[in-house]
Amino acid sequence: MENTRSNSSSIPTILDGIKAADIKVNYGPDLPSDPEVVEYFDKLRPDTWSIIPPEEELNPQQREALAVFGNADNLREDPGYKIITTTSRMLVEAEARRLSRQKTTQVVDKCIKSGMIAKENRDRLIDRHAKVTEGTILTLRRQVLDDELDEDSLLCEYLQLGASNLGRLAILECLGFSKASVRGAISCGSIDDYESKKSKSEEFFALTDKEREEKLEKLLKQSERVIKQRRADRKKREQEAALEAAYKKMFGDDLEGATRRIERDVESLQQDGYALECLSAKLIHNREETELITGNLGELRQAFPDLCYPSGLNALDYLAEKCSADTKMAVLVGAQVMGTGKVYALGTNLATIYKKSDSSEG
Protein backbone atom coordinates (compact mmCIF):
# COMPACT_ATOMS: atom_id res chain seq x y z
CA MET A 1 0.00 0.00 0.00
CA GLU A 2 1.44 3.34 -1.04
CA ASN A 3 0.22 6.48 0.65
CA THR A 4 2.48 9.48 0.39
CA ARG A 5 -0.02 12.02 1.66
CA SER A 6 -0.31 13.01 5.30
CA ASN A 7 -2.56 10.56 7.08
CA SER A 8 -2.58 12.30 10.43
CA SER A 9 -4.67 15.31 11.38
CA SER A 10 -2.04 16.41 13.92
CA ILE A 11 1.57 17.31 13.25
CA PRO A 12 3.84 14.60 14.68
CA THR A 13 7.06 15.70 16.34
CA ILE A 14 10.21 13.90 17.42
CA LEU A 15 10.47 13.94 21.20
CA ASP A 16 14.17 14.15 21.98
CA GLY A 17 15.33 10.94 20.38
CA ILE A 18 12.09 9.00 20.65
CA LYS A 19 11.51 7.92 17.09
CA ALA A 20 8.43 9.25 15.28
CA ALA A 21 7.29 9.18 11.69
CA ASP A 22 7.61 12.11 9.30
CA ILE A 23 4.47 14.01 8.37
CA LYS A 24 4.27 11.94 5.18
CA VAL A 25 4.59 8.20 5.53
CA ASN A 26 4.89 5.44 2.93
CA TYR A 27 2.70 3.02 4.81
CA GLY A 28 -0.67 3.13 6.44
CA PRO A 29 -4.26 2.65 5.39
CA ASP A 30 -6.26 5.25 3.56
CA LEU A 31 -8.32 6.98 6.19
CA PRO A 32 -12.10 7.06 5.95
CA SER A 33 -13.90 10.35 5.53
CA ASP A 34 -15.36 10.10 9.03
CA PRO A 35 -13.55 12.79 11.09
CA GLU A 36 -14.39 11.14 14.43
CA VAL A 37 -12.71 7.91 13.31
CA VAL A 38 -9.72 9.86 11.97
CA GLU A 39 -9.29 11.72 15.26
CA TYR A 40 -9.42 8.51 17.31
CA PHE A 41 -7.08 6.70 14.91
CA ASP A 42 -4.52 9.52 15.07
CA LYS A 43 -4.40 9.21 18.87
CA LEU A 44 -4.13 5.42 18.71
CA ARG A 45 -1.48 4.96 16.06
CA PRO A 46 2.07 4.51 17.41
CA ASP A 47 3.94 6.31 14.60
CA THR A 48 2.82 9.85 15.44
CA TRP A 49 3.04 12.12 18.44
CA SER A 50 0.78 14.96 19.45
CA ILE A 51 2.44 18.36 19.43
CA ILE A 52 3.19 20.18 22.69
CA PRO A 53 0.43 22.74 23.29
CA PRO A 54 1.25 26.45 22.89
CA GLU A 55 3.02 28.00 25.88
CA GLU A 56 -0.05 29.97 26.96
CA GLU A 57 -1.95 26.68 27.40
CA LEU A 58 0.69 25.19 29.74
CA ASN A 59 0.47 25.48 33.50
CA PRO A 60 3.35 27.22 35.38
CA GLN A 61 5.04 23.97 36.43
CA GLN A 62 5.04 22.65 32.86
CA ARG A 63 6.60 25.85 31.58
CA GLU A 64 9.26 25.82 34.30
CA ALA A 65 10.06 22.14 33.70
CA LEU A 66 10.55 22.69 29.97
CA ALA A 67 12.76 25.70 30.69
CA VAL A 68 15.10 23.97 33.15
CA PHE A 69 15.55 20.91 30.96
CA GLY A 70 16.22 23.21 28.04
CA ASN A 71 19.17 24.55 30.03
CA ALA A 72 19.98 21.29 31.83
CA ASP A 73 23.49 20.83 30.39
CA ASN A 74 24.60 24.21 31.71
CA LEU A 75 22.94 23.69 35.08
CA ARG A 76 24.70 20.37 35.57
CA GLU A 77 28.05 22.15 35.21
CA ASP A 78 27.32 24.05 38.41
CA PRO A 79 29.72 22.97 41.23
CA GLY A 80 26.81 22.50 43.62
CA TYR A 81 24.85 20.21 41.31
CA LYS A 82 25.91 16.91 42.94
CA ILE A 83 25.28 18.15 46.46
CA ILE A 84 21.87 19.56 45.56
CA THR A 85 20.99 16.30 43.78
CA THR A 86 21.80 14.32 46.94
CA THR A 87 19.71 16.68 49.04
CA SER A 88 16.87 16.57 46.52
CA ARG A 89 16.87 12.79 46.52
CA MET A 90 16.38 12.75 50.29
CA LEU A 91 13.66 15.41 49.94
CA VAL A 92 11.79 13.41 47.31
CA GLU A 93 12.04 10.24 49.43
CA ALA A 94 10.67 12.12 52.45
CA GLU A 95 7.81 13.57 50.39
CA ALA A 96 6.99 10.11 49.03
CA ARG A 97 6.79 8.77 52.59
CA ARG A 98 4.60 11.72 53.64
CA LEU A 99 2.27 11.21 50.68
CA SER A 100 2.03 7.47 51.28
CA ARG A 101 1.22 8.01 54.95
CA GLN A 102 -1.35 10.68 54.05
CA LYS A 103 -3.16 8.35 51.63
CA THR A 104 -3.01 5.43 54.06
CA THR A 105 -4.35 7.59 56.88
CA GLN A 106 -7.31 8.64 54.75
CA VAL A 107 -8.16 5.00 53.99
CA VAL A 108 -7.80 3.88 57.62
CA ASP A 109 -9.87 6.79 58.95
CA LYS A 110 -12.61 5.98 56.42
CA CYS A 111 -12.62 2.36 57.60
CA ILE A 112 -12.84 3.50 61.25
CA LYS A 113 -15.76 5.79 60.42
CA SER A 114 -17.61 2.95 58.71
CA GLY A 115 -16.96 0.61 61.63
CA MET A 116 -14.75 -1.80 59.67
CA ILE A 117 -11.80 -1.44 62.06
CA ALA A 118 -11.37 -0.37 65.68
CA LYS A 119 -10.08 3.12 66.47
CA GLU A 120 -7.39 1.76 68.81
CA ASN A 121 -5.76 -0.02 65.84
CA ARG A 122 -5.43 3.19 63.82
CA ASP A 123 -1.74 4.05 64.35
CA ARG A 124 -0.59 0.44 64.06
CA LEU A 125 -2.39 -0.05 60.75
CA ILE A 126 -1.09 3.24 59.33
CA ASP A 127 2.49 2.30 60.26
CA ARG A 128 2.08 -1.13 58.71
CA HIS A 129 0.58 -0.06 55.40
CA ALA A 130 2.20 3.33 54.73
CA LYS A 131 4.79 2.03 52.26
CA VAL A 132 6.28 3.91 49.35
CA THR A 133 5.42 2.14 46.10
CA GLU A 134 5.89 2.80 42.41
CA GLY A 135 2.38 4.19 42.45
CA THR A 136 3.43 6.77 45.05
CA ILE A 137 6.18 8.08 42.77
CA LEU A 138 3.81 8.14 39.79
CA THR A 139 1.34 10.17 41.84
CA LEU A 140 4.11 12.62 42.78
CA ARG A 141 5.14 12.97 39.14
CA ARG A 142 1.57 13.72 38.13
CA GLN A 143 1.04 16.20 40.97
CA VAL A 144 4.24 18.08 40.10
CA LEU A 145 3.65 18.35 36.37
CA ASP A 146 -0.07 19.05 36.73
CA ASP A 147 0.64 21.76 39.33
CA GLU A 148 -1.44 19.91 41.91
CA LEU A 149 0.89 19.56 44.91
CA ASP A 150 -1.01 20.04 48.15
CA GLU A 151 -0.01 22.89 50.44
CA ASP A 152 1.69 20.52 52.90
CA SER A 153 4.01 19.06 50.28
CA LEU A 154 7.71 19.23 51.12
CA LEU A 155 8.40 20.08 47.45
CA CYS A 156 6.31 23.24 47.27
CA GLU A 157 9.04 25.57 48.49
CA TYR A 158 11.57 24.27 45.96
CA LEU A 159 9.18 24.20 42.99
CA GLN A 160 7.44 27.53 43.48
CA LEU A 161 7.84 30.18 40.81
CA GLY A 162 11.15 32.01 41.18
CA ALA A 163 12.84 29.12 43.02
CA SER A 164 16.34 27.98 42.08
CA ASN A 165 16.52 26.40 38.62
CA LEU A 166 19.25 24.09 39.84
CA GLY A 167 17.08 22.83 42.70
CA ARG A 168 14.10 22.41 40.37
CA LEU A 169 16.17 20.37 37.90
CA ALA A 170 17.51 18.14 40.67
CA ILE A 171 14.05 17.43 42.09
CA LEU A 172 12.59 16.67 38.67
CA GLU A 173 15.46 14.31 37.87
CA CYS A 174 15.07 12.57 41.24
CA LEU A 175 11.42 12.04 40.37
CA GLY A 176 12.57 10.25 37.23
CA PHE A 177 11.93 13.01 34.73
CA SER A 178 14.16 13.69 31.74
CA LYS A 179 13.92 16.21 28.94
CA ALA A 180 12.21 13.59 26.78
CA SER A 181 9.75 12.42 29.44
CA VAL A 182 8.75 15.95 30.42
CA ARG A 183 8.03 16.84 26.82
CA GLY A 184 6.32 13.49 26.30
CA ALA A 185 4.17 13.79 29.42
CA ILE A 186 3.02 17.26 28.37
CA SER A 187 2.29 16.31 24.77
CA CYS A 188 0.65 12.96 25.58
CA GLY A 189 -1.32 14.20 28.57
CA SER A 190 0.49 12.33 31.34
CA ILE A 191 3.75 10.58 32.12
CA ASP A 192 1.94 7.20 32.09
CA ASP A 193 0.55 7.82 28.61
CA TYR A 194 3.98 8.93 27.43
CA GLU A 195 5.72 5.81 28.73
CA SER A 196 3.03 3.62 27.17
CA LYS A 197 3.23 5.35 23.81
CA LYS A 198 7.03 5.34 23.88
CA SER A 199 7.01 1.57 24.37
CA LYS A 200 4.42 1.03 21.63
CA SER A 201 6.33 3.32 19.27
CA GLU A 202 9.58 1.42 19.77
CA GLU A 203 7.80 -1.88 19.16
CA PHE A 204 6.15 -0.45 16.03
CA PHE A 205 9.38 0.78 14.46
CA ALA A 206 11.00 -2.60 15.10
CA LEU A 207 8.52 -4.16 12.65
CA THR A 208 9.00 -4.57 8.93
CA ASP A 209 7.19 -2.23 6.54
CA LYS A 210 4.58 -4.91 5.80
CA GLU A 211 4.03 -5.60 9.50
CA ARG A 212 3.65 -1.86 10.14
CA GLU A 213 1.06 -1.61 7.40
CA GLU A 214 -0.89 -4.55 8.86
CA LYS A 215 -0.66 -3.00 12.33
CA LEU A 216 -2.11 0.31 11.12
CA GLU A 217 -4.91 -1.48 9.27
CA LYS A 218 -5.85 -3.31 12.48
CA LEU A 219 -5.78 -0.06 14.46
CA LEU A 220 -8.00 1.63 11.88
CA LYS A 221 -10.55 -1.18 12.10
CA GLN A 222 -10.36 -0.94 15.88
CA SER A 223 -10.99 2.81 15.65
CA GLU A 224 -14.04 2.25 13.46
CA ARG A 225 -15.43 -0.32 15.93
CA VAL A 226 -14.85 1.96 18.92
CA ILE A 227 -16.50 4.97 17.29
CA LYS A 228 -19.44 2.83 16.14
CA GLN A 229 -19.92 1.57 19.71
CA ARG A 230 -19.54 5.07 21.14
CA ARG A 231 -22.26 6.36 18.84
CA ALA A 232 -24.54 3.48 19.73
CA ASP A 233 -23.95 4.13 23.44
CA ARG A 234 -24.52 7.84 22.93
CA LYS A 235 -27.80 7.19 21.08
CA LYS A 236 -28.90 4.79 23.82
CA ARG A 237 -28.17 7.39 26.51
CA GLU A 238 -30.10 10.03 24.57
CA GLN A 239 -33.07 7.68 24.19
CA GLU A 240 -32.96 6.80 27.89
CA ALA A 241 -32.78 10.49 28.83
CA ALA A 242 -35.73 11.29 26.54
CA LEU A 243 -37.71 8.38 27.99
CA GLU A 244 -36.91 9.47 31.55
CA ALA A 245 -38.04 13.02 30.76
CA ALA A 246 -41.28 11.72 29.21
CA TYR A 247 -41.85 9.43 32.20
CA LYS A 248 -41.39 12.33 34.61
CA LYS A 249 -43.69 14.55 32.55
CA MET A 250 -46.40 11.88 32.58
CA PHE A 251 -46.22 10.80 36.22
CA GLY A 252 -44.33 13.61 37.98
CA ASP A 253 -42.17 12.86 41.02
CA ASP A 254 -44.92 11.12 43.01
CA LEU A 255 -45.27 7.64 41.49
CA GLU A 256 -47.33 6.38 44.41
CA GLY A 257 -49.76 9.26 43.93
CA ALA A 258 -49.97 8.59 40.19
CA THR A 259 -50.63 4.91 40.88
CA ARG A 260 -53.44 5.73 43.31
CA ARG A 261 -55.09 8.07 40.80
CA ILE A 262 -55.01 5.41 38.09
CA GLU A 263 -56.43 2.78 40.44
CA ARG A 264 -59.26 5.16 41.40
CA ASP A 265 -60.06 5.63 37.70
CA VAL A 266 -60.13 1.88 37.22
CA GLU A 267 -62.39 1.43 40.25
CA SER A 268 -64.76 3.98 38.77
CA LEU A 269 -64.72 2.13 35.44
CA GLN A 270 -65.52 -1.17 37.14
CA GLN A 271 -68.42 0.41 39.01
CA ASP A 272 -69.75 1.57 35.63
CA GLY A 273 -69.72 -2.01 34.39
CA TYR A 274 -66.39 -2.15 32.53
CA ALA A 275 -64.22 -5.24 32.76
CA LEU A 276 -60.62 -5.91 31.78
CA GLU A 277 -60.29 -6.93 28.14
CA CYS A 278 -56.55 -6.73 27.47
CA LEU A 279 -53.38 -5.52 29.20
CA SER A 280 -50.75 -6.92 26.82
CA ALA A 281 -51.12 -4.29 24.09
CA LYS A 282 -48.74 -1.33 23.93
CA LEU A 283 -48.64 2.00 22.15
CA ILE A 284 -46.06 2.38 19.41
CA HIS A 285 -45.65 6.07 20.23
CA ASN A 286 -45.01 7.32 23.77
CA ARG A 287 -47.69 9.54 25.31
CA GLU A 288 -47.08 12.63 27.44
CA GLU A 289 -49.91 12.26 29.97
CA THR A 290 -52.12 9.62 31.51
CA GLU A 291 -55.69 9.58 30.27
CA LEU A 292 -58.79 7.45 30.29
CA ILE A 293 -60.73 7.49 27.03
CA THR A 294 -64.16 5.92 26.76
CA GLY A 295 -66.27 5.51 23.65
CA ASN A 296 -67.48 2.94 21.21
CA LEU A 297 -65.04 0.60 19.50
CA GLY A 298 -65.22 2.45 16.19
CA GLU A 299 -64.21 5.74 17.84
CA LEU A 300 -61.37 4.18 19.79
CA ARG A 301 -59.97 2.51 16.67
CA GLN A 302 -59.54 5.97 15.18
CA ALA A 303 -58.12 7.43 18.39
CA PHE A 304 -55.57 4.64 18.92
CA PRO A 305 -54.25 3.41 15.53
CA ASP A 306 -50.92 2.50 17.20
CA LEU A 307 -52.24 0.31 20.02
CA CYS A 308 -50.80 -3.09 19.14
CA TYR A 309 -50.11 -6.53 20.53
CA PRO A 310 -46.45 -7.66 20.81
CA SER A 311 -46.93 -9.44 17.49
CA GLY A 312 -47.62 -6.10 15.79
CA LEU A 313 -51.32 -6.80 15.25
CA ASN A 314 -53.53 -3.79 16.01
CA ALA A 315 -55.41 -4.67 19.20
CA LEU A 316 -58.57 -2.73 18.46
CA ASP A 317 -58.75 -4.04 14.87
CA TYR A 318 -58.57 -7.55 16.30
CA LEU A 319 -61.36 -6.80 18.78
CA ALA A 320 -63.46 -5.40 15.94
CA GLU A 321 -63.59 -8.91 14.51
CA LYS A 322 -65.37 -10.08 17.69
CA CYS A 323 -67.33 -6.99 18.68
CA SER A 324 -69.55 -4.53 16.85
CA ALA A 325 -68.44 -0.95 16.20
CA ASP A 326 -70.96 0.24 18.81
CA THR A 327 -69.45 -1.81 21.63
CA LYS A 328 -68.67 0.41 24.61
CA MET A 329 -64.98 0.27 25.48
CA ALA A 330 -62.30 2.26 27.30
CA VAL A 331 -58.55 2.68 26.95
CA LEU A 332 -56.45 3.63 29.96
CA VAL A 333 -53.16 5.23 28.84
CA GLY A 334 -50.07 5.09 31.06
CA ALA A 335 -50.35 1.76 32.86
CA GLN A 336 -50.95 -1.95 32.69
CA VAL A 337 -53.65 -2.77 35.25
CA MET A 338 -54.51 -6.28 36.45
CA GLY A 339 -58.01 -7.66 36.73
CA THR A 340 -57.95 -6.89 40.46
CA GLY A 341 -57.72 -3.21 39.63
CA LYS A 342 -54.14 -2.92 40.88
CA VAL A 343 -51.47 -1.31 38.71
CA TYR A 344 -48.96 -3.86 37.39
CA ALA A 345 -46.66 -1.37 35.63
CA LEU A 346 -46.44 2.28 34.69
CA GLY A 347 -45.07 3.42 31.33
CA THR A 348 -45.41 6.10 28.67
CA ASN A 349 -46.31 3.47 26.05
CA LEU A 350 -48.47 1.20 28.21
CA ALA A 351 -52.25 0.90 27.97
CA THR A 352 -55.06 -1.25 29.30
CA ILE A 353 -58.25 -1.98 27.33
CA TYR A 354 -61.67 -2.39 29.00
CA LYS A 355 -65.05 -3.48 27.60
CA LYS A 356 -68.42 -2.72 29.09
CA SER A 357 -69.94 -6.00 30.18
CA ASP A 358 -73.41 -5.41 28.75
CA SER A 359 -72.09 -4.33 25.32
CA SER A 360 -73.12 -6.37 22.32
CA GLU A 361 -70.84 -8.94 20.75
CA GLY A 362 -70.15 -8.96 17.02
- Residue range 58-115, pLDDT digits in tens: 899 999 999 999 999 999 999 999 999 999 999 999 999 998 898 888 888 888 888 8
Euclidean distance between CA atoms 262 and 256, whole angstroms: 10
92-105 pLDDT, tens digit per residue, is 999 999 988 988 88
Q: Is 170 helix (H, G, I), strand (E, B) or coil?
A: helix
Q: For the chain, list residues with pLDDT below 50.
A: 1-27, 362
Q: What is the pLDDT of residue 322?
A: 87
Residue closest to 266 by CA, chosen among 319, 334, 317:
334
Per-residue pLDDT at 24: 37
Q: Indicate the pTM of the whole model.
A: 0.55
* C-alpha span between 64 and 71 (Å, rounded): 11
Strands 307-308, 343-356: pairing kind: unpaired
Residue 113 confidence (pLDDT) = 87
Residue 323 is classified by DSSP as: B
Distance CA 113, CA 338 (A): 47
8 A C-beta contact, residue 359 and residue 312 = no
